[in-house]
Structure 1
Amino acid sequence: MSTGVVVADEVTSTFNAFKLGQGEKLKYIIYKIEDKKTIVTEKTGEKGKTYDDFCADLPDDDCRYGLIDLDFTTDDGRPTSKLVLITWNPDSGSIRNKMLYSGSKEALKTALNGVGIHINATDHSELDLEASVLPICRKFA
């Protein structure tokens, strides 16, 4: 489903710098859809921030996209990191926004070339690092 939402150029340039470790050292980026037309960067978390900080920056009752550089240990004990895109569509969000974010996700995924792990979350239990997110990441490690 195409929603006509476009990705702002700054999203792509910030992502490329993030992916390549250039410029400001970031741990995560949170995106929002502005005026139902454009995906923009809403907030960034510097390298010292944690996954809990990332989750705290997601609103309880509105949709967002979040990209985080997750460090973890694989099942065979190797340390690694992966870029993970999380689509946050909380149950308490409006139906209209949930549809808009779901329908616009492909445009963002295309702009964020190289992100191999995509997670959809509708409540905080689906954001639980140990129970939900890391098991998915380990499948791709």
Structure 2
Amino acid sequence: MANAASGMAVHDDCKLKFLELKAKRTYRFIVFKIEEKQKQVVVEKLGEPSQSYDDFTASLPADECRYAVYDFDFVTAENCQKSRIFFIAWSPDTSRVRSKMIYASSKDRFKRELDGIQVELQATDPTEMGLDVIRSRAN
């Protein structure tokens, strides 16, 4: 179903892959892309469980918007192993204005389709989603 505000549908694969990441931990991260011609959000890249945060950030284009989900593992001050699912809206300053507007207007609806997101991050440059930022938001 397309959203009236942005007209973007969400491909079923997006929800399926997200459920696999959440329930089975099949992936470390998922990068989503809006296909303007098809008017829908699709899966662009899947990160293997063994891949690092650097692999994840390297998979985001420098001058194009994307949505991404990252499964972040960490150890609490009490020495408990935990994990948080981050939703990252990547909107670099160098991307096209039209693209930024489409991603911004579609974000909330897309995020609602992915049940289980714990932390949301908006980033316009890599420093806004550095590992230090992720760590501080995870706790």
TM-score, normalising length: structure 1: 0.90
Greater displacement, 74-83 / 87-96: 74-83
Residue 11 of structure 1 is matched in structure 2 by 14
Q: 2:109 aligns with which of 79, 99, 107?
A: 107
Counterparts of residues 87-106 of structure 1 (less than 5 Å): 87-106=89-108
Q: 1:137 maps to what in 2?
A: 138
Point out where structure 1 has 5 or more consecutive residues left out of the alignment. none
Cα deviation 1:110-138 (Å, max 9, x = unaligned)? 110111211000001101111x2211111
RMSD: 1.5
User: Which residue among 64, 84, 87 is the counterpart of 2:86?
Assistant: 84
Of 2-11 and 73-82, deviating more is 73-82
Structure 2 Cα separation of the partners of residues 76 and 5 of structure 1: 43
SS of match in other structure, 1:136:
helix
CA contact (8 A) 2:32 2:66 kept: yes
Q: Does the CA-based 8 Å contact 2:28-2:47 persist in structure 1? A: yes
User: Unpaired segments of 5 or more residues in structure 2?
Assistant: none
Please show how residues 28-67 of structure 1 align to structure 2 within 5 Å.
Answer: 28-35=29-36, 37-67=39-69
SS in 1 for 2:87: strand
Aligned residues of 2:20 and 2:27 also touching (Cα < 8 A): no
In the TM superposition, residue 49 of structure 1 has moved relative to its aligned partner by 0.2
CA distance in 2 between counterparts of 1:74 and 1:6 reads 38
Task: Give the number of aligned pairs.
Answer: 135
C-alpha displacement at 1:16, in angstroms?
Answer: 1.3
Deviation string 1:55-111 (CA, Å, 9 cap, x unpaired) is: 000000000011011011224442211111100000111111111111101121111
Whether the 8 Å CA contact 1:6–1:107 is kept in 2: the answer is no
Hey, what's the Cα distance between the residues in 2 that align with 1:75 and 1:3?
A: 42
